[in-house]
Amino acid sequence: MLASCVGNIFKQTYPNYELIIVDDGSTDNSKEVINRIRVSQPTGKIDYRRQPHSGPSAARNTGIACARGEYIAFCDDDDAWHPQKLSDQIAFLLAHQEIKICFTNGYYASGKKTLRHLIFPHPPRLDLKDFLLQNPVPLSSVVMHRACFREVGGFDETLRVCEDYDLWLRMRTRYSFSMIDVPLFTYQCHTENATNDFERLARTRLRLIQRTYAAWVAENPGIFSTAEKRQIESTIALREGKCCFFFDKQRRPAIKQCIRALRISPGNRRAYLYFVLYLMGNGFFSAIYIPAYEKLFHRPYLRSA
């Protein structure tokens, strides 16, 4: 995967970049792969750094600290940039100086097969409420001003999942985000993705939403309308119920959270759906609902938990 990832970066039509590879204590042949690439591509663009295993946040912070350019972009070794990615995004940022963080659409892939299913069939909403409730920014699609890190800091090294979501939430009230609705990268779906650690992902995401919502409202009580607050608090209750049902294996507390979600926001249609599904039990979820969801949306179900 590493050789393929680096090969796609070398195909960029934008020439003025440096490639910083941070080896986070790998036990495979990553160093040998990089040495072979250096021989075949003697461009001097590769800065290879190895460090003791510290997690993805620490590895990315190391890369940011070593970077010399004005812009920062990320690419996990199992994802793939399309050739025009950097050139299109740099041109966009230069043309829109008010935008500090730019991301793009992309395709899902499974193994060597690109599924040609867009990550975003429709552009995501970037207002504060929707941004809070669902991470709309794929990390490998981002190009951003390096200066953004000076104000909010880097990735939280205590997090092993959702570290990108945490960073975007800290940046959202300070900087403007914008999307280029063109697929400029491919996201690899496989069982080794950190995003397939469903329980840790769902619980961490829930804590981030709760923490950020409380902080934003404390800082600016009028940041959300009454209707938006009801929708956010109802969604939080629903997510708490999903954790009860899927991970704690407790159906009754999950149903109570559905009822709580509906009391807060009677228009929450998902709460009605989950209320019925919880009554039908985990067997129905596992045997019928989840396979149907994954077939329809071409992604693991709990990624959107």
pLDDT higher than 60, residue 169? yes
- 222: its two tokens: 């009028």
Closest of 24, 34, 26, 28 to residue 3, by C-alpha = 34
pLDDT higher than 70, residue 129:
yes
CA distances from 269 to 56, 126, 295, 301 (A): 36, 21, 22, 18
Query: Would the pLDDT of 223 be above 50?
Result: yes
User: Please, what is the Cα angle at 287 between 115 and 272, to 5 degrees?
Assistant: 95
What is the average pLDDT across 140-151? 94
Mean pLDDT of 163-189: 94
DSSP E strand stretches across the chain:
19-24, 46-51, 71-73, 80-81, 99-110, 113-118, 143-145, 176-189
Q: At what angle do helices 226-246 and 251-264 cross, to 10 degrees?
A: 170
* Rounded Cα gap, residues 281 and 4, in angstroms: 43
CA 139/CA 187 separation, integer angstroms: 10
Q: What is the mean pLDDT of the chain?
A: 88
Within 8 A by CB and 6+ apart from 235, the residues are: 133, 209, 261, 268
d(CA 226, CA 34): 54
Is pTM, for the whole model, over 0.75?
Answer: yes
**Across 249-269, average pLDDT:** 95
Tens-place pLDDT, residues 227-245: 999 999 999 999 999 999 9
Angstrom distance (rounded) from CA 38 to CA 7: 11
169-178, 197-206, 261-270: range with lowest mean pLDDT: 197-206
The upper half-sphere exposure of residue 197, i.e. CA atoms within 13 Å in the direction of its Cβ, equals 12
Domains along the sequence of the chain with CATH: 2-190 (3.90.550.10), 198-304 (no CATH)
pLDDT at 196: 54
Strands 80-81 and 176-189: antiparallel
Which pLDDT score, from 0 to 100, does residue 25 have? 85
Q: What whole-number distance in Å separates Cα of residue 141 and Cα of residue 213?
A: 25
| pLDDT for residue 277 is more than 50 | yes
Rounded to whole angstroms, the Cα distance separating 294 from 114 reads 16
* Residue 112 exposed, middle or buried by CB count within 10 Å (0-12, 13-18, 19+): exposed
Query: For 79-120, what is each residue's pLDDT tens digit?
Result: 899 999 999 999 999 999 999 999 999 998 876 665 668 899
Report pLDDT digits (tens) over 20-49.
Answer: 999 888 888 778 888 887 777 656 678 889
For 55-73, the pLDDT digits (tens) are 999 999 999 999 999 999 9
